[in-house]
């Protein structure tokens, strides 16, 4: 995904829950979904990227979007999952894990259901959100995964 929402194109997306909100990330960027695995804490790491996990023999940073979206961090439950995503950063492939309170399903978000981020009334930093979609009378937040990981890499 680039930095804009194409409102006329459908988006195949993995939906997941963080706190009481539904988020959707581009399904093409999702490599796999894991149950919670052992996490190696990194001393002095940011709260948003607080540890490393082993994914098929590779060391992968683990991000907690709850921190970025100003939500309280919670302990893992039986529904908690790690969504392993692949994004491009400075022309290189970055593999990272993202904690999700619950993973729902892959859905098609029609372009007509998506809107740009409102300039007022948002409780999250606008640069972290690509857009808002409506699905089954629920708002679905589409995070800007590219910007999120670019921000985290610069920190």
- Nearest CA to 23 out of 96, 75, 98 is that of 98
CA angle 27, 30, 31 (to 5 degrees): 140
Confidence of residue 154 (pLDDT cuts 50, 70, 90): low
How confident is the model at residue 90, as a pLDDT? 81
Confidence of residue 121 (pLDDT cuts 50, 70, 90): low
Q: Which fold has domain 11-154?
A: OB fold (Dihydrolipoamide Acetyltransferase, E2P) (2.40.50)
Give the pLDDT confidence of 40-97 residue by residue, as tens digits.
998 888 888 889 999 999 999 999 999 888 898 889 999 999 999 999 888 889 999 9
How confident is the model at residue 30, as a pLDDT? 97
How confident is the model at residue 37, as a pLDDT? 94
Give residue for tokens 């929402």: 5
- Nearest CA to 90 out of 27, 153, 30, 28 is that of 153
Give the pLDDT confidence of 3-47 residue by residue, as tens digits.
444 445 788 999 999 999 999 999 999 999 999 999 999 888 888
Average pLDDT rounded to a whole number, residues 102-128: 81
pTM for the model stands at 0.87
Cα atoms in the 13 Å half-sphere on the side-chain side of 120:
0
Evaluate if residue 104 carries a pLDDT over 80.
yes
């Amino acid at each position: 995904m680039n930095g804009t929402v194409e409102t006329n194109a459908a988006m195949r997306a993995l939906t997941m829950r963080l706190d009481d909100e539904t988020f959707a990330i581009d399904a093409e960027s999702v490599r796999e979904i894991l149950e919670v695995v052992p996490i190696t804490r990194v001393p002095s790491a940011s709260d948003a990227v607080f540890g490393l996990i082993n994914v098929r023999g590779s060391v992968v940073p683990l991000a907690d979007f709850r921190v970025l979206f100003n939500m309280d961090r919670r302990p893992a439950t039986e529904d908690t999952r790690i969504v392993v995503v692949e994004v491009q950063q400075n022309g290189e492939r970055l593999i990272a894990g993202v904690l999700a309170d619950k993973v729902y399903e892959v859905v098609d978000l029609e372009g007509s259901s998506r809107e740009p981020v409102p300039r007022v009334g948002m409780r999250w930093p606008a640069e972290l959100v690509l857009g808002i979609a409506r699905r089954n009378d629920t708002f679905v937040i589409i995070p800007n995964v590219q910007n999120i990981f670019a921000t985290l890499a610069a920190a």
